A = this chain, B = another copy of it.
Amino acid sequence: MTTLFQRHEAVFKRAQQACETRECWSPFPEMPDKYPDAAKAKVAGLQAFEAHRAAGEFTLDQPGVTGWVGEEVSPYTQQPLGIRYPQSDLDTLFDAAERAMVAWADAPVQARVGALMEVLDTLYREHLFEMLHAVMHTAGQSYNMAYAGSGVNALDRGIEALVYAEQAMRSVTPRAQWQRRFGEAQITLQKTYRLVPRGVAVCFSCASFPTWNAWPSMIASLATGNPVIVKPHPATVLPMAITVRVFRRVLQAAGFDPNLVTLALDTVADPIGKVLVKHPKTAIVDFTGSVRFGHWVEQNAHPALTYTETAGCNTVVLESAQDLDAALRSLATTLCMFSAQMCTSPQNIYLPRDGVKTPQGPVPFDEVARRLAAAVQALTAEPKKAAMILASIQSPQTLALLKQLQAEGASRGKVLLAPAAYPHPEFPQARTSTPLMLQVTPAERDLYAQERFGPVSFVIACRDADDALAQATHDVRTEGGLTAFLYSTNEDYIARAEAAYARAGAQLTINLTGPMPLNFAAAYSDYHVTTLNPAGNATFTNLAFVVGRFGISQSRRPVAPGASHG
């Protein structure tokens, strides 16, 4: 009989190779149309999503259910999804998780790896398009992004986490024979090293991008033997409810206790986040979400370990360009992508006050700002194109923020581009907005030196090119930042920027133009979050993401009774 590990061994080994070389690879087709039997899968996925809505209750056979909650509203229809989910008593979930952990932790590493590869493969084969609609109608992503960013890329990050977990565990030999003389005696000890899971992990997922962080976090905890309680944002439950159901079903079919993975739910009015973090049985917290709560978690979770990805200022420095229009087109695309509701979206664009150098001569600051705004406007003017790229706005709070920042920007700087709803061709009631672009100076730093979640960007007039780089990297260093983007034809300037951003801890993309989204982060290749600034302490994914999730307990004894008497 083929084990689950054997079934997935070829893919797993190929993934190990990709993590080593960090070349481009994925076992999954990158576009929905390339999915096997795509037409049929698309129909079935939509039907599965609609079936959840029709049922109204999402059943999960987890213990301790005390009630039902559900307050999701589709950003595409602005109507409630109408799905209620079981809410379980937390102590019951923790107790069930601890019981489930015993046999799971005792299972061989390959058995866990095989079962988790099977979970990811099942998500891919049976639930990808169901997940796609669930993500669209909670997070508000476009069809293609829900497929790629929340589907196959998230699965890739899961496999990647599994590769590092297996690597970390494999580096500990399970046993050793140790022999040394003490005085006249020869002592021979047989040593056994056990990988012991830390305990119950709590995985928080966020409203706008639920699976991309949650799947690798869950896999990292589970691979190393820990059970996981998933706590989704109340606005985006369905993708994680489907996730939890699939994990439970596949783990149970593989012979394990399904309570290794359970769902903990709350409402906006009655949150349980702090209770979960401070629960005496919480051993690991994975958190993706707001800066404020993320920092609270980092400061208060002890003795639980924390893995966070929050946010910061993603910066752009535009010093000079070989092809300014191509650079501005790429920037404009990335500013618009999912209405900048990604943790990798650029926000702050630092330009020299005296303009950007090009082969045709310097282009004045005002003109660069105007042309960038025009490029954004061109992308968003036509509704069908706008829908593909901007998608929808996840939260009404984002629209309120746009309004507030537009007013502040108008009084303290200049509004380069005013936001407006655009009509979504497929969903006329969709919550939408074109981007807000503001022109400011470093005197308005309080406006931009923090993440402003949503389609907001700041074009910042700096003293000169050196000041632009210094301001940008300082803001990253102190306020956090995940990505950074540089355009320069000056190799000396590029080298200084690489060094400064490396130290500041933002992942830098240089002089990229063309159709690739500037903020595209490839699993197996791009390290996401350096951990070197306040934007988060968890890298997706590396050894540090996994090694703390287990400890090494050893026992040692003389090889044979009396053998230690020499």
- A residues sitting closer than 8 Å to B (CB atoms) are 20-24, 167-168, 171-173, 176-180, 182-185, 187, 189, 191-194, 196, 198, 298-299, 302-303, 322-323, 326, 494, 498, 501-503, 505-516, 522, 525-527, 530-532, 534, 537, 539, 542-544, 547-548, 551-558, 561-562, 564-566
A531 touches B551 (CB 8 A): yes
- Measured in the bound complex, the distance between the Cα atoms of B564 and A323 in whole Å is 12
Q: Which chain B residue has the least Cβ–Cβ distance from A544?
A: B547
A502 touches B20 (CB 8 A): no
B516 touches A182 (CB 8 A): yes
B24 touches A564 (CB 8 A): no
A185 touches B516 (CB 8 A): yes
Apart from A298-B303, A303-B537, A526-B554, list 4 A-B contacts with CB within 8 A. Answer: A21-B173, A191-B525, A322-B562, A527-B552
Q: Which chain B residue has the least Cβ–Cβ distance from A527?
A: B552
Some 27 contacts from A to B, beta carbons below 8 A apart, are A20-B173, A21-B176, A22-B176, A22-B193, A23-B178, A171-B542, A178-B525, A180-B516, A185-B516, A187-B516, A196-B503, A198-B532, A322-B562, A326-B565, A498-B555, A505-B553, A507-B553, A508-B554, A509-B555, A510-B555, A511-B558, A527-B552, A527-B554, A531-B548, A543-B543, A543-B547, A544-B547
Q: Which chain B residue has the least Cβ–Cβ distance from A489?
A: B561
B561 touches A514 (CB 8 A): no
Known: A22-B176, A22-B178. A510 touches B557 (CB 8 A): yes
B322 touches A561 (CB 8 A): yes
- Measured in the bound complex, the distance between the Cα atoms of B330 and A558 in whole Å is 14
- Copies assembled: 2
The 5 closest A-B pairs by CB, nearest first: A510-B557, A502-B553, A22-B176, A508-B555, A544-B547
Choose from B299, B522, B532, B548 the contact partner of A178 (Cβ within 8 Å).
B522
- Measured in the bound complex, the distance between the Cα atoms of B507 and A223 in whole Å is 23
Choose from B167, B182, B193, B515 the contact partner of A515 (Cβ within 8 Å).
B182
Choose from B494, B553, B564 the contact partner of A513 (Cβ within 8 Å).
B564
Q: Which chain B residue has the least Cβ–Cβ distance from A513?
A: B564
What residues of B have a CB within 8 angstroms of the CB of A180 in the complex? 24, 516, 522
Q: Which chain B residue has the least Cβ–Cβ distance from A564?
A: B514
A502 touches B187 (CB 8 A): no
Q: Which chain B residue has the least Cβ–Cβ distance from A305?
A: B537
- Measured in the bound complex, the distance between the Cα atoms of B180 and A460 in whole Å is 33
What residues of B have a CB within 8 angstroms of the CB of A298 in the complex? 302-303
- Measured in the bound complex, the distance between the Cα atoms of B24 and A183 in whole Å is 16
- Measured in the bound complex, the distance between the Cα atoms of B503 and A192 in whole Å is 14
- Measured in the bound complex, the distance between the Cα atoms of B546 and A544 in whole Å is 9
Nearest CB of B to A335, in Å = 18
Chain B CB within 10 Å — which of A177, A194, A553 has the most? A553
Choose from B167, B543, B555 the contact partner of A502 (Cβ within 8 Å).
B555
Known: A189-B512, A514-B566, A534-B303. A23 touches B177 (CB 8 A): yes
Choose from B513, B554, B564 the contact partner of A565 (Cβ within 8 Å).
B513
Choose from B171, B511, B530, B564 the contact partner of A543 (Cβ within 8 Å).
B171
What residues of B have a CB within 8 angstroms of the CB of A551 in the complex? 505, 530-532, 539
B502 touches A194 (CB 8 A): yes
What residues of B have a CB within 8 angstroms of the CB of A512 in the complex? 187, 189, 556-558, 564
- Measured in the bound complex, the distance between the Cα atoms of B561 and A551 in whole Å is 48
B183 touches A515 (CB 8 A): yes
Nearest CB of B to A403, in Å = 34
Nearest CB of B to A544, in Å = 4
Q: Which chain B residue has the least Cβ–Cβ distance from A306?
A: B302
What residues of B have a CB within 8 angstroms of the CB of A498 in the complex? 192, 194, 555
What residues of B have a CB within 8 angstroms of the CB of A21 in the complex? 173, 176
Nearest CB of B to A14, in Å = 16
What residues of B have a CB within 8 angstroms of the CB of A547 in the complex? 542-544, 547
What residues of B have a CB within 8 angstroms of the CB of A326 in the complex? 565
Q: Which chain B residue has the least Cβ–Cβ distance from A522?
A: B178
Choose from B23, B177, B510, B564 the contact partner of A516 (Cβ within 8 Å).
B564
A171 touches B178 (CB 8 A): no
What residues of B have a CB within 8 angstroms of the CB of A507 in the complex? 553-556
- Measured in the bound complex, the distance between the Cα atoms of B191 and A447 in whole Å is 33
A557 touches B182 (CB 8 A): no
- Measured in the bound complex, the distance between the Cα atoms of B30 and A187 in whole Å is 15
B552 touches A530 (CB 8 A): yes
Q: Which chain B residue has the least Cβ–Cβ distance from A526?
A: B554
Known: A194-B502, A303-B298, A539-B552. A511 touches B544 (CB 8 A): no
Q: Which chain B residue has the least Cβ–Cβ distance from A520?
A: B182
Nearest CB of B to A169, in Å = 10
What residues of B have a CB within 8 angstroms of the CB of A542 in the complex? 171-172, 547, 552
